């Protein structure tokens, strides 16, 4: 069963979520991170019974403990990682969780810094860094000698070390906001890369806050690629062996580190709020003290229904998840084939995680097919009636004053991602075809 092929365009337009109501009905929305899926039957059946019995009160201690145990079991089953349940608290969602951690550590001191690696999910720039010094240590360039790199968008450790060193002089504090795997590029950071990051973190005393909301999608994709069957995932001898995703806290080197995660992205239930903040269980206890002694995480914050929904998904929906990511991988291949037909001059990286395509239409700007004074995303919206996310929203802003950011480093004249778009491929192949055909018709 392919959960992305269960609804027609007409049925999807009946939805009232942000994805399907932000634009007029004649626009195909392939933008915000919502999936056009049929939810797991296990989830639908259980939530129906929960609603029938009116169990929509406040989150209980027992409910939170079940949620934590479900996540820890999932992490062990898929990644071979056994989080310490005593190092976990809950928050409403990943963005707010990361914000709370950053503010707890940096103490709202504008002399402290938030370091990011663009291109990156916009809240890292205009949310987490707001009120602090902002430092961009970009991922490595996409192009080498004019050609698309075979291994683009990797962490640049020379840039990171400079940023870590400069931001921690004179007893200043800094946070590095890690997107693992990366959104929008789909980069899946390797264990060696994450160890190198952890060593830099320890060397300079920079707190790493790792957003791992897309992690389950990487796991399932690699599980299918290695031709495992569901029963093998339940075998303790195989735990973690099928996973291309490395949780940052699974590394022994992760000292001053906190992970924020949720099942909401993998199971497409962001409208019911629940997420977890996990502190490193390193013997130094630096992260534990921050989590439990800062006063920022003193009470439960998740929604009861969100916790119930995620607990069900984490415990019961592995097989559905494997089918979903197989469908996403098929859609990526489908996108690659259609892009050669409809916009062969565009460039993009092969995706390792997430369900996005990160596409550069710069050649079409150079040859005049897209006017220079308008972004590709706006041009496609106005003329092809297709909505993508504009690339510059994932880059360091040209005008830093709009978000109250303080820039450290060279003055920025333009974003290197002005001609990029992020395309959401978690939909039916018919909608992908319609969208790309419409874009191709105006190029």
Any bridge partners for residue 260, and if so which? 211, 277
Q: Of the segments 48-62, 144-158, 232-246, 401-415, which one has the largest average pLDDT value?
A: 48-62
Q: Across residues 356-369, what is the average pLDDT? A: 94
**Phi, psi dihedral angles at 186 (to 5 degrees):** 80, 10
- Residue 304 and residue 232 share a domain: yes
267, 43 contact by CB (below 8 A): yes
- Residue 390 and residue 254 share a domain: no
Q: Across residues 279-303, what is the average pLDDT? A: 80
- Residue 324 and residue 239 share a domain: no
* DSSP state letter for 74: H
Rounded-to-integer distance, Cα 344 and Cα 229, Å: 37
Cβ atoms within 10 Å, residue 244:
18
pLDDT digits (tens, 9 = 90+) for 180-217: 999 999 999 999 999 999 999 999 999 999 999 999 99
User: In this predicted structure, what is the pLDDT of residue 415?
Assistant: 78
Where a domain ends, among 316, 334, 351? 316
Residues 31-70: b if buried by 16+ CB within 10 A, e if exposed: bebbbbbbbbeebeebbeebeeeeeeeebeeebbebbbeb
47, 287 contact by CB (below 8 A): no
Share of the chain above pLDDT 90, in %: 74
- Residue 121 and residue 86 share a domain: yes
Q: Across residues 1-7, what is the average pLDDT? A: 94
Number of domain units in the chain: 2
Q: Across residues 314-318, what is the average pLDDT? A: 95
The enclosing H or E element of 363 equals helix 362-366
pLDDT over 80 at 436, yes or no: yes
User: In this predicted structure, what is the pLDDT of residue 352?
Assistant: 75
Assess if residue 223 is contained within a domain: yes
User: In this predicted structure, what is the pLDDT of residue 410?
Assistant: 43
CATH code (residue 295): 3.40.640.10
Three-class DSSP labels, 101-115: HHHHHHCCCCCCEEE
- Residue 328 and residue 276 share a domain: no
CATH code (residue 373): 3.90.1150.10
Assess if residue 179 is contained within a domain: yes
Assess if residue 48 is contained within a domain: no
Rounded-to-integer distance, Cα 284 and Cα 325, Å: 38
267, 39 contact by CB (below 8 A): yes
User: In this predicted structure, what is the pLDDT of residue 281?
Assistant: 86
Where a domain ends, among 276, 294, 316? 316
Contact partners, residue 146, CB within 8 Å, separation at least 6: none
- Residue 259 and residue 353 share a domain: no
Whether the model pTM is above 0.75: yes
- Residue 240 and residue 119 share a domain: yes
User: In this predicted structure, what is the pLDDT of residue 22?
Assistant: 96
pLDDT over 60 at 430, yes or no: yes
Pure H helices in 205-257:
215-225, 230-233
pLDDT over 50 at 230, yes or no: no
Structural domain boundaries, residue 28: 9-41+320-440
Assess if residue 360 is contained within a domain: yes
Residue 440, SS3 per DSSP: helix
Assess if residue 110 is contained within a domain: yes
Assess if residue 3 is contained within a domain: no
Contact partners, residue 8, CB within 8 Å, separation at least 6: none
Output the furthest CA–CA distance in the chain (Å, rounded): 63
- Residue 70 and residue 28 share a domain: no
- Residue 144 and residue 75 share a domain: yes
Rounded-to-integer distance, Cα 311 and Cα 316, Å: 8
User: In this predicted structure, what is the pLDDT of residue 173?
Assistant: 97
Assess if residue 62 is contained within a domain: yes
Assess if residue 371 is contained within a domain: yes
- Residue 325 and residue 265 share a domain: no
Q: Across residues 216-234, what is the average pLDDT? A: 56
Where a domain ends, among 286, 316, 346? 316
Sign of CA dihedral 180, 185, 190, 196: negative
- Residue 63 and residue 26 share a domain: no
- Residue 311 and residue 338 share a domain: no
Q: Please tell me the least confidently modeled range out of 136-150, 178-192, 261-275.
A: 136-150
């Amino acid at each position: 069963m392919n959960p992305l092929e269960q609804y027609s365009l007409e049925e999807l337009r009946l939805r009232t979520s942000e994805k399907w109501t932000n634009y007029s009905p004649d626009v195909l929305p392939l933008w915000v991170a919502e999936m056009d899926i049929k939810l797991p039957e296990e989830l639908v059946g259980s939530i129906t019974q929960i609603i029938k019995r009116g169990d929509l009160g406040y989150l209980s201690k027992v409910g939170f403990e079940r949620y934590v145990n479900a996540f820890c079991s999932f992490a062990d089953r898929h990644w071979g990682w056994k989080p310490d349940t005593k190092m976990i608290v809950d928050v409403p969602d990943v963005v707010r969780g990361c914000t709370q951690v950053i503010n707890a550590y940096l103490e709202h001191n504008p002399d402290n810094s938030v370091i990011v690696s663009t291109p990156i999910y916009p809240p890292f720039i205009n949310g987490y860094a707001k009120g602090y010094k902002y430092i961009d240590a970009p991922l490595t360039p996409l192009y080498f000698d004019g050609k698309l790199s075979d291994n683009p968008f990797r962490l640049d450790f020379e840039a990171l070390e400079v940023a870590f060193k400069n931001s921690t002089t004179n007893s200043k504090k800094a946070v590095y906001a890690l997107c693992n795997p990366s959104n929008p590029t789909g980069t899946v950071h390797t264990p060696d890369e994450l160890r190198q990051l952890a060593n830099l973190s320890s060397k300079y005393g920079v707190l790493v806050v790792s957003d791992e909301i897309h992690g389950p999608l990487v796991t399932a994709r690699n599980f299918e690629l290695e031709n495992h069957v569901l029963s093998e995932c339940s075998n303790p001898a195989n735990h973690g062996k099928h996973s291309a995703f490395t949780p940052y806290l699974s590394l022994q080197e992760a000292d001053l580190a906190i992970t924020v995660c949720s099942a909401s992205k993998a199971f497409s239930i962001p409208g019911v709020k629940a997420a977890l903040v996990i502190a490193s269980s390193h013997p130094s206890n630096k992260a534990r003290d921050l989590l439990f002694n800062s006063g920022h995480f003193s009470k439960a914050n998740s929604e009861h229904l969100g916790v119930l929904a995620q607990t069900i998904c984490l415990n019961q929906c592995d097989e559905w998840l494997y089918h979903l990511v197989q469908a996403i991988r098929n859609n990526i291949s489908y996108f690659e084939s259609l892009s050669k037909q409809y916009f062969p001059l565009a460039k993009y990286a092969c995706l390792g995680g997430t369900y996005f395509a990160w596409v550069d239409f710069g050649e079409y700007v150079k040859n005049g097919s897209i006017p220079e004074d308008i972004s590709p995303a706006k041009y496609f919206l106005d003329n092809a009636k297709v909505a993508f996310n504009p690339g510059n929203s994932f880059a360091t802003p040209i005008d830093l004053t709009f978000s109250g950011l303080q820039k450290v480093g060279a003055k920025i004249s333009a974003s290197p991602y002005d001609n990029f778009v992020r395309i959401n491929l978690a939909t039916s192949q018919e909608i992908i075809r319609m969208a790309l055909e419409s874009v191709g018709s105006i190029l």
